[in-house]
């Protein structure tokens, strides 16, 4: 009886450790992915996108919804 309880106890500890290790491993991988962008090759579209981002369109409006 005693042995059974001890083995369940250790099994639980092992399971818990696996869960914690998996969680921290997964978090590290996610964090790394955010910084791991591929090396860019610049084409005309890339330049134009960045230029677009630099300016504001003259007819831009703030949308707060329609009254009716």
List residues near another protein by CB under 8 A.
1-2, 5-6, 8-9, 12-13, 16, 19-20, 23, 42, 44, 46-48, 50-58, 60-68
* First-to-final CA distance of the chain: 73
Rg of the chain over all Cα atoms, to the nearest angstrom: 27
CB of 31 to another protein, least distance (A): 12
CB of 27 to another protein, least distance (A): 10
Question: With respect to another protein, which residue has the nearer C-beta, 13 or 28?
Answer: 13
CB of 38 to another protein, least distance (A): 15
Do 40 and 46 form a contact (C-beta atoms < 8 A)?
yes
| Euclidean distance between CA atoms 60 and 31, whole angstroms | 35
């Amino acid at each position: 009886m005693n042995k059974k309880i001890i083995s369940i106890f250790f099994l639980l500890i092992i399971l818990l450790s696996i869960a914690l290790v998996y969680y921290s491993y997964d978090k590290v991988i996610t964090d790394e992915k955010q910084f791991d962008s591929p090396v860019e090759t610049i084409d005309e579209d890339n330049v134009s996108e960045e230029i677009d981002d630099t300016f504001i369109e003259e007819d831009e409006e703030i949308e707060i919804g329609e009254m009716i």
